[in-house]
Amino acid sequence: MIHVTINRNSSGRINSFTMSGHAEFDVPGKDIVCAGASAVAFGTINSIYALCKVEPLLEQEKNGFLRCQIPKLEDKMIEDKVQLLLEGMVVSLQTIELDYGQYMKIQS
């Protein structure tokens, strides 16, 4: 199972997220749940970097572990854009969880 944890600060803003595990919906290379969750997470990270010029701190392992930490941002407009991208990621992951909840769980 894929476990997603969304970490928020006291203001409710996302400051990091982690994903760990494997969905085991199908064999590696054909697992649409893993592929979908990975595409959403990495698409968000790449969008934050490309569109906001913010470089998240990443930790990744071959066993299916990913941690993304958003650095402290001084520019409120950039921070708002990063938050919008992260909240969009949460909505996309929740959509996957809705249909494939036995293979992925989100905790926030």
Report the candidate in 59, 47, 107, 58 with the shortest Cα–Cα distance to residue 83: 47
52 carries an active-site annotation: no
3 noted as active-site residue: no
Check if the beta carbon of residue 15 is closer than 8 Å to that of residue 69: yes
Among the listed residues 3, 34, 52, 68, the single catalytic one is: 34
Active-site hit among 3, 22, 52, 68: 22
Q: Are 85 and 51 in contact, with CB atoms under 8 Å apart?
A: yes
**Integer Cα distance of 70 and 50 in angstroms:** 14
Which residues are annotated as catalytic?
Answer: 22, 34
